[in-house]
Amino acid sequence: MKTEYLEGPLLLYPEGKRENTLLESNPQKELYRFFASALMGIPKSAVEQLLKESEDHSCRDAPEICVKVKAIANLPTLYGDYQAVAFWNNFDKKEHAAFVHGNIFEKEDVPVRLHSECLTGDAIGSLRCDCREQLVESLARIGKMDRGIVLYLRQEGRGIGFVNKIRAYQLQDAGFDTVQANEKLGFRPDERDYDIAAHMLMSLHVKSVKLLTNNPDKLKDLQLHGINVVARIPVVMPPNQFDKFYLETKQKKLGHILDIEQRDDLAAYPHTHNSD
């Protein structure tokens, strides 16, 4: 069932039902019927199987990291029809999520983006990094494909947490680059781990992936944890005057594969130069 979108307040309705939806005396009832019947991706039988497997899953083979699917719901977005998958794990106790477009259950070559949480970028629109742009680009691209997944991992600040990320920003304001700032705080340049991400993909019965990333370490880490990565899809965003140095540092010191070209739409933005 195709979803259409109306201008103004966001209303959803099955194709061909516009007049009924607009004139419905109880629009909430129409939405309920839509969500109850729509199959936005993973089939109902597979959803039930995933939830049942997690309910019965005891993680005997890898008790140090146990990941379970706790809930799955339809999630229409500005970028297409998705399903939100909520996960529980016993390792970091954080609530990681998968946003699934299309049927990925038991599928091969599934496009996957591993996106680490970035409050300042994702929610506030910070220009010190390209996180929000990469998230939106990935959701939009996958929303146009037959299937795909955005894993949203609660690994703020490349794994150092929000408070330490802002401390790192302070150091960057004083002239350190993003790697130097992490090291001065006592951290590795990148503290993230993708073991949980691999378990999430396994829990969803994904057989192989095409990884949307500029970071070769993500690809290697997923492979190390048993995920079959068959291809890499670049997600290079043009830099602005505030994140250009940050992106150059990631390219030079962290090995990110970037073809950086300055964007000019923010060239006259009235702020001093900063970097993430």
Supply the residues annotated as catalytic.
Answer: 190, 192
Instruction: Give dist(CA 43, CA 45) in Å, integer.
Output: 5
Q: Would you say 72 and 83 are in contact if contact means Cβ atoms under 8 Å apart?
A: yes
Instruction: Give dist(CA 41, CA 191) in Å, integer.
Output: 33
Cα of first residue to Cα of last residue in the chain, in angstroms, is 42
C-alpha distances (whole Å) from 222 to each of 92, 105, 200, 209, 260 are 18, 18, 11, 10, 26
Report which DSSP code applies to 122. I
Length of the chain: 276
Backbone angles phi, psi at 45, to 5 degrees: -65, -40
The residues near 198 (Cβ < 8 Å, ≥ 6 apart) are 222, 225, 226, 227
The residues near 257 (Cβ < 8 Å, ≥ 6 apart) are 214, 215, 216, 234, 251
Helix (H, G, I), strand (E, B) or coil at 25: coil
Stated as kind and residue range, the H or E segment containing 35 is helix 27-37
